[in-house]
Amino acid sequence: MTTFYIIINIAIMLLFIFGLFTLQKKHVSFSKRVFIALGLGVVFGLVLQLIYGTASEVISGTIDWFNIVGSGYVTLLQMVVMPLVFISILGAFTKIKLSNNIGKISGLIIAILIGTTAIAAAVGIGTSLVFDLEAIEIEQGDAETERGEYLEERFGEVQDQTFPQQILSLLPANPFLDFTGARPTSTIAIVIFAAILGMAYLGVRKKNQEHADMFAKIVDTFYSIIMRVVTLILRLTPYGVLALITKVTATSDYNAIWKLGEFVLASYVALAIMFAIHLLLITLSGLNPITYVKKALPVLTFAFTSRTSAGALPLNIKTQTRDLGVPEGTANFAGSFGLSIGQNGCAGVYPAMLAVMIAPTVGINPLSPSFIATLIVVVAISSFGVAGVGGGATFAAILVLSAMDLPVALAGLLISVEPLIDMGRTAVNVSGSMTAGVLTSKATKELDTSVYDDNSQHAEA
């Protein structure tokens, strides 16, 4: 009977997919289809868990098939991330307007990303203190112990590295290896490699215009092809969101979430405050924050369900340029830098909250001004090179906790609710990079406000 029930569940999923395809044919807007998929996935997942239970063979077998759509979609996006990061940064240098202003633009983006991460750390600290969170209050079972041991193992990989050595690890010793995403710092290494090639192009352009023009045409051609691949993949977004959110709601351990409800609530309060700060910054720049929310929601929804900032990069860049009026070069820099520098959720809020929760276990007063100031600085500095894929928050936590001389293993106590919290963190990461793109292009007076203020919906991804 197990196989029969799995077939029934697959048939229902196929029916939903066909319904979404029909809506696309009827030119229903992209954002509406994404939210319809989100709603269907939540309801379908909850019904599956209610009928079968999370531990049943039916659920595991069903999700295994659903992963073809959900995980398959994320895999396709991750496939194009490294080529997109590389060609986007390199292409930014071939745009004459941007190349004349490249230092100011990249500097502003990095300053905004690091600055907002420092603010995110302060928000995480404040929220933890208000909710009076302490790691000692959490029960430690087998899963928590195993996670703690894993973190200790990861800590062993980085504890012997000095800060200068960590900076050196960002450099692309072997760019071809980094194209595979083999290292946690591979993304920023590719950004640096592309920037070096871009600066070389600018030098060649001054001495040999013909060679520079030929190179620029090659880069633009590759950029067009890769963006076309991105467009084809993004058309699958509603189906990917449907499968991903169905999996999340069908397999979540709601008992664990209930037991750690205070920690989950505190995390989402901190993330909501950080998102509100993004909107405040946009408002202070003279732009309508409601417009930003409407246009960014499909991207943030995907980031939320997929838990991958890197996977959201294609949709991130496309939304910045097509819907928010950010120039291509600035959007490429903001999106690409945002994968590895200053992730507000994973590298800002999360490690700061963990540090405050863990500090009392080793006799440190988390209310101490020196502790708070040091933590904010450490979080901001450590936010360089955090990978924009699942596990990036773990890497950030290890760096921050080790720098603050706090026990790394205790971070494993939240393993049972980690996926749920990670969804919100990823959405805030992506919002931070998009905010950096919008604010930078507004500051450099290159934002197309007519596109930003245009509320017409796009039917396609």
Flag whether pLDDT at 97 surpasses 60: no
Sign of the C-alpha dihedral computed for residues 425, 427, 430 and 434 taken in this order: negative
Residue 343 phi/psi, 5-degree rounding, is -75, 110
Cα distances (Å, whole numbers) of residue 393 to 17, 58, 254, 344, 389: 32, 32, 22, 10, 9
pLDDT at 124: 93
Per the CB < 8 A criterion, the answer to whether 239 and 20 are in contact is yes
Q: What is the pLDDT of residues 152-173, one digit of tens each?
A: 555 555 555 666 776 777 788 8
**Structural domains in the chain (count):** 1
pLDDT at 132: 85
Give the integer Cα–Cα distance in Å for 76 and 416.
28
pLDDT range class, residue 29, cuts 50, 70, 90 = confident
Please indicate whether residue 52 or residue 143 has the higher confidence score (pLDDT). 52
- Asked whether residue 170 is assigned to any structural domain, the reply reads yes
Q: Which of 135-144, 155-164, 381-390, 415-424 has the highest mean pLDDT?
A: 415-424
Please indicate whether residue 411 or residue 130 has the higher confidence score (pLDDT). 130
- Asked whether residue 72 is assigned to any structural domain, the reply reads yes
Rg (CA), the chain: 22
Give the integer Cα–Cα distance in Å for 407 and 155.
10
- Asked whether residue 289 is assigned to any structural domain, the reply reads yes
For residue 383, what are its two tokens?
Answer: 């936010």
Flag whether pLDDT at 4 surpasses 50: yes
Question: What is the CATH classification number for the domain harbouring 217?
Answer: 1.10.3860.10
pLDDT range class, residue 459, cuts 50, 70, 90 = very low
pLDDT range class, residue 147, cuts 50, 70, 90 = low
Q: What is the pLDDT of residues 356-373, one digit of tens each?
A: 888 888 888 888 899 999
Per the CB < 8 A criterion, the answer to whether 137 and 364 are in contact is no
- Asked whether residue 338 is assigned to any structural domain, the reply reads yes
Q: What is the DSSP track for 327-376? A: -HHHHHHHHHHTTTB--IIIIIIHHHHHHHHHGGGGT--TT-HHHHHHHH
Q: What is the pLDDT of residues 175-217, one digit of tens each?
A: 888 888 777 677 778 888 988 998 899 889 888 989 989 999 9
Q: Identify the domain containing residue 342 by its residue range.
A: 2-453
Counting Cα atoms < 13 Å in the Cβ hemisphere of 170 gives 16
How much is the average pLDDT of 255-274? Answer: 84
At 201, the amino acid letter reads Y
How much is the average pLDDT of 218-242? Answer: 88
Give burial (CB, 10 Å; 0-12/13-18/19+) of 62: buried
- Asked whether residue 353 is assigned to any structural domain, the reply reads yes
Contacts of 278 (CB under 8 A, 6+ apart): 116, 344, 431, 432, 435
- Asked whether residue 21 is assigned to any structural domain, the reply reads yes
For residue 259, what are its two tokens?
Answer: 């037991």
Residue in the structure block whose two tokens are 């408002």 = 283
Residue in the structure block whose two tokens are 């196929």 = 14
Pick the range with the lowest mean pLDDT from 90-104, 105-119, 249-263.
90-104
Per the CB < 8 A criterion, the answer to whether 400 and 351 are in contact is yes
Give the integer Cα–Cα distance in Å for 137 and 120.
24
- Asked whether residue 330 is assigned to any structural domain, the reply reads yes
How much is the average pLDDT of 119-147? Answer: 74
DSSP state of 457: P
Give burial (CB, 10 Å; 0-12/13-18/19+) of 280: exposed
Segment 363-370 long-range contacts (CB within 8 Å, at least 24 positions apart): 364/406, 366/125, 366/128, 366/129, 367/129
- Asked whether residue 459 is assigned to any structural domain, the reply reads no
Flag whether pLDDT at 151 surpasses 50: yes
pLDDT range class, residue 136, cuts 50, 70, 90 = low
Per the CB < 8 A criterion, the answer to whether 335 and 437 are in contact is yes
pLDDT at 144: 47
CA dihedral 284, 426, 150, 405 (to 10 degrees): 0
